[in-house]
């Protein structure tokens, strides 16, 4: 699964608990996009989460 190249956000595993308290395993996946960004001054295709894209951590390559 993809991982954000800037903040390291990755898949998380935990328990989903129903109203009757039955527990089952579940995964939460980050909202990542494959974008062309500047990494060390060179344009590269990387995975970036939408929070990093929105906050300006990612410098997009044209």
Percent of the chain with pLDDT over 70: 98
With contact defined as beta carbons under 8 Å apart, do 16 and 26 qualify? yes
For residue 41, the cross-strand partners are none
**52 in helix, strand or coil?**
helix
Task: Tell whether the model's pLDDT for residue 26 goes beyond 90.
Answer: yes
Q: Residue 47: which pLDDT band, with cuts at 50, 70 and 90?
A: very high
pTM: 0.78
What ranges do the domains of the chain cover? 12-55
């Amino acid at each position: 699964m993809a991982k954000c190249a800037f903040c390291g956000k990755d898949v998380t595993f935990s328990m989903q608990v129903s109203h009757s308290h039955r527990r089952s395993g579940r995964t939460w996946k980050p909202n990542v996009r494959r974008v062309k960004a500047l990494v060390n001054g060179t344009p590269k295709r990387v995975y970036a989460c939408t929070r990093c894209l929105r906050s300006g951590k990612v410098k997009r390559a044209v």
